[in-house]
Amino acid sequence: MSMSMVTGNSYLESLLQGQPQLPPSPLAWFNRLRASAVDRAGMLKVPTTRDEEWRFTDISPLAKLSFHPVRTVPSLQKEDIARFYVEGTSATLVFVDGIYMPELSVQSNRTADLIVTNLSAALATHAHAMEPHLGRHAAFQDNLFAALNTAFLHDGALIIAPRNTAIERPVHVLFIATQAESTSHPRCLLIAEPGSAVTVVEDYVTLQEGPYITNAVTEIAIGDNAQVSHTRLQRDSGQAFHMANSAVSLARASRYRSISVAFGARISRYDLNARLAAEGAECSVDGLALINERQLADTHTCIDHASPDGTSRQLHKCIIDGAAHGVFNGKIIVRPGAQRTDSSQSSRNLLLSARAHIDTKPQLEIFADDVKCAHGATVGQLDNEELFYLKSRGLSEVAARNLLTYAFGAEIIDRIPIASLKRRLEQTVLEQTQRN
């Protein structure tokens, strides 16, 4: 314990090294936010498996490596990253190692009233819109990684969907890692004004296979009757550490639809908190972790029904191969007074090898009586009846297994609302689930 604390703290110091070089902002509230996050990050300890929230996720390998903040980034052309662009977006923002790249970004299809810009530029123009939201949803009091991200806050993506407008084409925010042993703190803020509708893809990719840290925070504020579709793809390198927090706030009768997919990273941890803050809000939170070798993918979600008449649906799946380790902790809270909440949650897990393992904990905490809540969890192999059926139709054992495994993962991918992206990811699932 004491050993890991020592290494932990020095590692923290190393992470905080870059902080003093951040230029102060002319905005007092922004400086205050960052300063309080620096304070907080200095006080919090690196979580260990003795913390209930980190019980199954040992991040001590992180402390054994050294990382540095990014100072310069390689020059990239659009052609170098062509395979990451998604067709038909209304705008694409590209960040390389956490730094905004206007020349790689695409704004040409954006309708005039949709705001898609980088956060540091927006501080000059949209500070007023950002102030009530930035750092207000993703609490960092007890969350070291959110505190670190906020301490390093200087740039990121800002999306504002204007009032009573449906944005047809998705917005793509692409984070590309290019340097080993680097640390980046990507930040996104999405404000969906009342009555708006928008689809956003938050996408983490890499151009190299070494270790690095991505420590992301995304905040999403959804106004009355607004709708947000949020697809999150984590395709980091197999050596990377991916820490991420998303915080979503839902106003009256708003809707949030989330699909998160984790393929990459040596260790990934994704915390999604969705708060149904006003009456009649709806959210669906789906996820897929497809991992292999010694990967660890940990998803913690909290769906917080704080108001009456809310609905939530969740389907989380893990496909675990090699000696990989899947973790799912899905909490559903129904607060006092959140009557007529209708919530269901399902955790489905498939182990493909003898050394694969899973820890899943769906949990309900209910403080209101007039509610309908259900959850379920399964862990197992492919269904023998289904296998038999396919084999009786002439498929080989391997082909039948491949088909069912693919279908297990594709159920989540199918829910992604962007056809071209869906096809590409289905291909990835296909490649990762097929054996000879």
Report the interface residues with another protein, using CB under 8 A.
Answer: 52, 336-337, 339, 349, 351-354, 356-381
Q: In angstroms, give the least distance from the CB of 85 to another protein.
A: 38
Q: In angstroms, give the least distance from the CB of 320 to another protein.
A: 9
Q: In angstroms, give the least distance from the CB of 254 to another protein.
A: 24
Residue number, 71 or 372, with CB nearest to another protein: 372
| Three-state SS annotation for 112-153 | CCCEEEEHHHHHHHCHHHHCCCCCCCCCCCCCHHHHHHHHCC
**Residues written for the chain:** 436
Residue number, 381 or 427, with CB nearest to another protein: 381
Residue number, 126 or 375, with CB nearest to another protein: 375
Residue number, 75 or 384, with CB nearest to another protein: 384
Residue number, 369 or 431, with CB nearest to another protein: 369
Q: In angstroms, give the least distance from the CB of 362 to another protein.
A: 7
| Three-state SS annotation for 241-270 | EEEEEEEEEECCCCEEEEEEEECCCCEEEE
Q: In angstroms, give the least distance from the CB of 338 to another protein.
A: 10
Residues 6+ apart with CB under 8 A from 254: 192, 222, 223, 224, 225, 226, 227, 228, 278, 281, 282
Q: In angstroms, give the least distance from the CB of 358 to another protein.
A: 5
Residue number, 216 or 334, with CB nearest to another protein: 334
Structure-block tokens of residue 287: 């996820």
Structure-block tokens of residue 74: 């390689």
Residues 6+ apart with CB under 8 A from 344: 312, 313, 314, 373, 374, 375
Structure-block tokens of residue 200: 């956003």
Instruction: List 317's β-bridge partners, or say none.
Output: 288, 348
Which SS3 state, helix, strand or coil, does residue 162 take? coil
